[in-house]
Structure 1
Amino acid sequence: MTVTPFPGSDTRVAPVPVFDIEKVLASIETMAAQRPVAAQIVSVANSDDTSAKALARILASDVALASRVMKLANSAYFGMRGRVTSLQFAVTVVGFTTVRTMATVALTNLDDESRLPENFWDVTTSLALAASSLAPRFGERPQESLCLGLLAQMGAALLHHNDPVGYGEILASEPTYRGRRSAETRRYGINGLRLTSVALEQWGFPVSLTTPLKEIDDDRSMDGALLRAAFEVAARLTVEDYEDEPIVRLTCGRLREDDVVPVLDQVRADAAELRRAMLGETAASDDPSGNPEEWTP
């Protein structure tokens, strides 16, 4: 399916490329061939007959990815500081969906910042932590909402990878995330969040992760309210001179401004550690359980 941009494309950006969703998704399969363990995890983690032991056995074959799962399991987010010393326990702590999300990050090269839009992980960690923190207010599970935030921008990364010059100009001309989605649609015929949903559907991710990506721009839809709130938190933390949108309107009255203040504080406190876990970065204060020499499959 070739997607052509809508009439009235933004003339401020470079000439519009022919955008083929199938070609972009096929490029992910090429990436997956270079990360076979991550691809296998994405494939099997959603199977009813997959156990934590079996998933840990597969995960152990990719030392870098296994180390990241260990680091996340031992992070402040899960409250297990230094107590997770086996991969099987780590898989149990973070959950299958989280392991699958981390594998998706690896196989789509979202851990290679040289190929990503500017400030990608600053925004992504803010989205993930905000969505997780606010999830109970919307009747959602925090860990699944964390995964939603971690994966939401995958489509934007794919657009950037296939059109770095044009996408860079979108970033420069559209400071807000809603504005960027509109510009993406004008240029490519699809926005980054919708492209993420297409990819996740193709890989069999649950509708609880794909529906919010489709409903985010309908301010009357509760299905997109949590993700809208998460993007608002991310914008307040990452967009210079940002003009706040009313959180009451964005969330169909579910949240008020007082609800956002502690979330902003939590994101500020935890974002750096989540980033290190997702990208495999180290810090002097990191627990040694993140070291592959210290744990057992």
Structure 2
Amino acid sequence: MTVSRLVLPGAAVRTTLAATPSFDLEAVLSNIETMAAQQPIAAQLVSMADSDDTDARTLARTLASDVALAGRVMKLANSAYFGMRGRVTSLQIAVTVVGFPTVRTMATVALTGLGDELRLPEGFWGMSSCVALGAATLAPRFGERPQDALCLGLLAPLGVALLHHSDPEGYTELSAAEPTAAGRRAAEARRYGIHAHRLTAVALEQWGFPASMVTPLGAVDDHGDQDGALLRAALEIAARLTVEDHVPVPVEELTGGQLREDAVPPVLERVRAEADELRLAMLGE
């Protein structure tokens, strides 16, 4: 992957910016480009993991050049989620266990600066980990692969981090004023001309992520769109675990009846038990 792929075509960016003078989308994407240039191994992994010519051995060899990222992949492979605690002893096996999409996701987290909690909104990784585990746990009920759903959940909040990076004080005030996820997305759209999940979709699309990762982000607010049902359910699971005074939204409503409320308690229990370990693995702690 060349770094230039991270920038939207000029015309599309100018159209968005004309409607949102308070938010410079091109500058945000250019900042990601700069970060990618500073982390060439992570950028290379984002490209390699989607190539038909890449095998686990080749990916592991490149991953080994980034000690911090390699350590995170090893820690994740040995986590409770993958059921291999203590048994993964090489990077090649770790890559095979977590899967290429997960390695790509972790590389994306690294090159966009999401590993630095000091630069993120409070509770960012607590929420992200719960969304990811909720999506992975529920994935079979929606005909999706758990590993793909885990990646979607981990990357979905990327736009939140990008908005916060560009407007720390303003975004903190916005978040405090809007306790619900739907209300916050509406406020983001008013302030920036784009909500966080749509911004994530824009970034992932530019990096060549598959439509299965991009489409749900654009469908998250349309309860009649089944493409966003799994992500909506995962966001609700995370909110119930992390948002104080959250008023639960029936999952039947969020998923068009694909998920019943009686299926939620065991999912909450698993996410509650494993989310912190996932958070620590993603942060390399």
Normalising by the smaller structure, the TM-score range is: over 0.9
Distance 2:68 2:196 in 1: 27
Deviations 1:21-68 (A, max 9, x none): 222111101011121111110111101101111110100000000000
2:202 to 191, 198, 201: 198
2:213 is the counterpart of 1:209: yes
Deviation at 1:4, TM superposition (A): 5.0
Distance 1:259 1:4 in 2: 43
Deviation at 1:75, TM superposition (A): 0.7
Deviations 1:221-275 (A, max 9, x none): 1100000000111111111111111110100001111111101000110011101
2:151 is the counterpart of 1:139: no
Deviation at 1:118, TM superposition (A): 1.2
5+ residue gaps, structure 2: 1-12
- Whichever residue aligns with residue 225 of structure 1, its letter is A
Distance 2:173 2:47 in 1: 35
**Residue in 1 aligned with 2:69?**
65
SS in structure 2 of the partner of residue 242 of structure 1: coil
**Residue in 2 aligned with 1:218?**
222
1:160 to 164, 175, 184: 164
Flag the 1:174–1:248 CA change in 2: closer, same or farther, 3 A.
Answer: same
2:146 is the counterpart of 1:119: no
**Residue in 1 aligned with 2:234?**
230
Q: Percent identity?
A: 69
- Whichever residue aligns with residue 244 of structure 2, its letter is E
Q: Decide which moves more: 188-197 or 31-40.
A: 31-40
**Residue in 1 aligned with 2:248?**
244
**Residue in 1 aligned with 2:44?**
40
Distance 2:54 2:267 in 1: 35
TM-score (norm 1): 0.90
Distance 1:22 1:87 in 2: 36
1:272 to 259, 263, 276: 276
Question: Is the CA contact 1:5–1:186 (under 8 Å) kept in the aligned structure 2?
Answer: no
Structure 1 consecutive aligned stretches of length 4 or more whose deviation exceeds 2 Å: 2-6
Question: Is the CA contact 2:129–2:275 (under 8 Å) kept in the aligned structure 1?
Answer: yes
Distance 1:255 1:159 in 2: 31
- Whichever residue aligns with residue 61 of structure 1, its letter is S
Deviations 1:186-208 (A, max 9, x none): 00000000000111010111111
Higher relative contact order (CA 8 A, sep 6+): 1
Distance 2:107 2:262 in 1: 36
1:89 to 85, 93, 108: 93
2:258 is the counterpart of 1:254: yes
SS in structure 2 of the partner of residue 19 of structure 1: coil
Deviation at 1:126, TM superposition (A): 0.5
Question: Is the CA contact 2:17–2:25 (under 8 Å) kept in the aligned structure 1?
Answer: no
The structure in which a higher percent of residues are helix is 2
Aligned residues: 272
Deviations 1:149-175 (A, max 9, x none): 000000110000001111011111001
**Residue in 2 aligned with 1:18?**
22
Deviations 1:95-138 (A, max 9, x none): 00000000000000000011111110010000000000000000
Question: Is the CA contact 2:22–2:191 (under 8 Å) kept in the aligned structure 1?
Answer: no
Question: Is the CA contact 1:5–1:187 (under 8 Å) kept in the aligned structure 2?
Answer: no
Deviation at 1:20, TM superposition (A): 2.3
- Whichever residue aligns with residue 169 of structure 2, its letter is V
- Whichever residue aligns with residue 172 of structure 1, its letter is A
Question: Is the CA contact 2:240–2:248 (under 8 Å) kept in the aligned structure 1?
Answer: yes
- Whichever residue aligns with residue 206 of structure 1, its letter is P
Flag the 1:61–1:214 CA change in 2: closer, same or farther, 3 A.
Answer: same
- Whichever residue aligns with residue 196 of structure 1, its letter is T
Distance 2:190 2:64 in 1: 43
